[in-house]
């Protein structure tokens, strides 16, 4: 991938060096195994660097073409896929999900806990596709322990490694909603449901739609729901952050995100978190977003559609968003992306209108239309409590000189 002199697009090469110096410090202190980072402005890459290891135990270095589990950075791709079908008139955002997946018409809402168990009520209003895209559908993930619903998710067929995508969606529809659709924000399996809607509306397997309509046009040659045998040597090892010691160790699964064998094709490709990718591939996707839905001759999504997707869609009473106890100040949520509404409140240098998302293994990307700037950081660290995403963002913005 060509990397140009930063000064040609108003950035400082000397100041960009701070990114590598800071991330190398995390590696040297044995708090993270390794990173790949990329910064671009005006669609020109000005920083593309690897440090540390993709496998620390075997001392295999992190490479620029290392393959990562991107987990929830799958969500923006799935959301774009669904909105591509919206542009073809396949659905309206205000339509109930049950029009396309009838089982969700029978899904009840948890309204209390009685002596005999959960107290349930009908949906009012019905769950819509807009609710899915904005995580206001009332669905959950099984991450937390504050409601009995999360335990139901952990015990459901949704967690199966062998169930089909349809079987998983039907299993989700049998579980109660945490709240009435539209009344709160809760990070959830909603984008997995969006992936199934893509499959239904396009009348083709979800994974084939992504491959044919997004990955191939954008040249994303290493992005898929599993790692092919001839690419396994490039696949980074997955670690976890130990909050007590500050060090990292091998990740072996947990109740909220179980171990998944990425060496085999997925029985039910997850639109919410199933993809693997490389930095070069994800930059192709981010560059398309930076260029208002188009990359070279490939128009993926309409300019106005993308503009609509990357606005805040949440009512003020649903803000600030929070994942568990972790509030996300200064940001709202669009259709598949978080959106900076108040840069000062985010706690790090930002621009209003900046949009992006993260993955469970501490990957993160953002696109700043105001500055024509994009940043991507890739690593493989679960349960992360380290501030390197904020470091990366601040060290990127401080390099702007024009």
If one compares 277 and 243, the residue with the highest pLDDT of the two is 277
Residue 369 has pLDDT above 90, yes or no: yes
pLDDT single digits (tens) 77-127: 999 999 999 999 999 999 999 999 999 999 999 999 888 878 999 999 999
HEC string for the chain: CCCCCHHHHCECHHHHHHHHHHHHHHHHCCCCCEEEEEEEECCEEEEEEEEEEEECCCCEECCCCCEEECHHHHHHHHHHHHHHHHCCCCCCCCCEHHHCCHHHHHCCEEEEEECCEEEEECCCCCCEHHHHHHCCCCCCCCCCCCCHHHHHHHHCHHHCCCCCHHHHHHHHHCCCECCCCCCCCCCCCHHHHHHHHHHHHHCCCHHHHHHHHHHHHHCCCCCECCCCHHHHHHECCCEEECCCCCCEEECCCCCCCCCCCCCCCCCCCCCCCCCEECHHHHHHHHHHHHCCCEECCEECCCHHHHHHHCCCCCCHHHCCEEECCEEECCEEECCCCEEECCHHHHCCCCCCCCEEEECCCCCEEEEECCCCEEEEEECCEECCCCCHHHHHHHHHHCCECC
* 8 A C-beta contact, residue 251 and residue 382: yes
State the average pLDDT for the chain.
96
pLDDT band per the 50, 70, 90 thresholds, residue 376: very high
pLDDT single digits (tens) 379-399: 999 999 999 999 999 999 999
pLDDT single digits (tens) 28-55: 999 999 999 999 999 999 999 999 999 9
As a whole number, mean pLDDT of residues 352-367 equals 98
Residue 257 has pLDDT above 90, yes or no: no
């Amino acid at each position: 991938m060509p990397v140009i002199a930063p000064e040609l697009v108003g950035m400082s090469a000397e100041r960009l060096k701070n990114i590598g110096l800071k991330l190398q410090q995390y590696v040297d202190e044995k708090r993270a195994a390794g990173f790949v980072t990329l910064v671009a402005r005006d669609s020109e890459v000005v920083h593309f660097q690897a440090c540390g290891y993709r496998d620390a135990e075997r001392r295999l270095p992190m490479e620029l073409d290392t393959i990562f589990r991107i987990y929830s950075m799958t969500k923006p791709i799935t959301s774009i896929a669904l909105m591509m079908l919206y542009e073809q008139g396949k659905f309206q955002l205000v339509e109930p999900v049950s029009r396309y997946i009838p089982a969700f018409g029978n899904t009840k809402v948890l309204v209390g806990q009685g002596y005999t168990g959960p107290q349930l009520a009908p949906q009012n209003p019905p769950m819509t596709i807009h609710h899915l895209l904005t995580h206001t559908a009332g669905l959950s993930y099984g991450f937390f322990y504050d409601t009995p619903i999360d335990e139901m998710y952990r015990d459901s067929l949704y967690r199966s490694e062998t169930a089909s995508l349809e079987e998983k969606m039907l299993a989700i529809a049998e579980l109660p909603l945490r709240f009435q659709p539209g009344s709160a924000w809760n990070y959830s399996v909603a984008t997995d449901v969006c992936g199934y809607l893509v499959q239904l509306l396009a009348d083709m397997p979800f994974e084939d739609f992504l491959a044919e309509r997004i990955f191939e046009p954008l040249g994303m040659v290493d992005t898929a729901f599993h790692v092919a045998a001839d690419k396994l040597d490039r696949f980074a090892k997955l670690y976890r952050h130990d909050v007590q010691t500050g060090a990292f160790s091998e990740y072996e699964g947990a109740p909220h995100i179980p171990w998944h064998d990425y060496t085999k094709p997925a029985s039910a490709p997850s639109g919410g978190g199933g993809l693997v990718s490389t930095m070069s591939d994800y930059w192709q996707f981010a560059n398309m977003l930076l260029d208002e839905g188009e990359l070279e001759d490939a128009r993926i999504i309409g300019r106005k559609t993308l503009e609509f997707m990357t606005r805040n869609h949440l009512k003020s009473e649903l803000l600030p968003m929070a994942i568990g106890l972790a509030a996300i100040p200064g940001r709202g949520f669009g259709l598949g992306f978080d959106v900076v509404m108040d840069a000062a409140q985010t706690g790090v240098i930002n621009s209003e209108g900046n949009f992006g998302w993260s993955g469970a293994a501490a990957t993160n990307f953002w696109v700043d239309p105001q500055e024509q700037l994009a940043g991507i950081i890739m690593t493989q660290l679960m349960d992360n409590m380290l501030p390197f995403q904020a470091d990366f963002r601040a060290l990127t913005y401080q390099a702007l000189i024009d």
